[in-house]
Structure 1
């Protein structure tokens, strides 16, 4: 049985901030891939009117083109987006997304302007891909 994902807004955040309400830690790779595929389809379906609602998809469309391309590639590979939100870090209007699995970044070709780095700090995150747009930094992290 495949679990259905839903998104919930963090009520304590002053910014738009959403997280996947499914227990993604306990989810099988197959279940995650199914939900990731559904998320990718939802993003692609909104291409004509990305800001139709103030929801998680509208935040995806605030990502620069290269980073949004990486996100869709990751979803197509079965990597699940578990959280996305506005942040005042690392720059005032940043959007940061967190993925369930690693990017497998070594040797991978990234879109122009997208930079991958391996962090591996157990107190922070494992790796990220970043892109600058109008001096604002946007991130996807694992």
Structure 2
């Protein structure tokens, strides 16, 4: 089961305030623990929305609308993420609870969400085989 720990943005992350050296070191230690356990898939922080582009589809079948950042919905902004592959929701929660406060100022908020597997979306054997082959090529062998 794959899960994403979504780190919510704050006014500081949107202002481009960089994390302290202590927080960077704590996050690096946490990511090393995840990697050593064989559950880390990816982990990265994101630049503020001031350098982002939003593509929306206001009309079904219509042309996409392009909007340059910054975006003001601070509660909806994602500042970073960690993706893990674990055996259960409980294990994912255990790992999420071990993550240091992602902003270091008591403002951190993490949203834990399960990622759809292709088998959640279709039972078509051909599509499932293609998805499996693609994942094998991209990810290589993982912990089972």
Shorter-chain TM-score bucket reads under 0.3
Q: Which has the larger radius of gyration?
A: 2
Structure scoring higher RCO (CA < 8 A, sep ≥ 6) equals 2
Scaled by the length of structure 1, the TM-score of the pair is 0.25
Higher helix share: 2
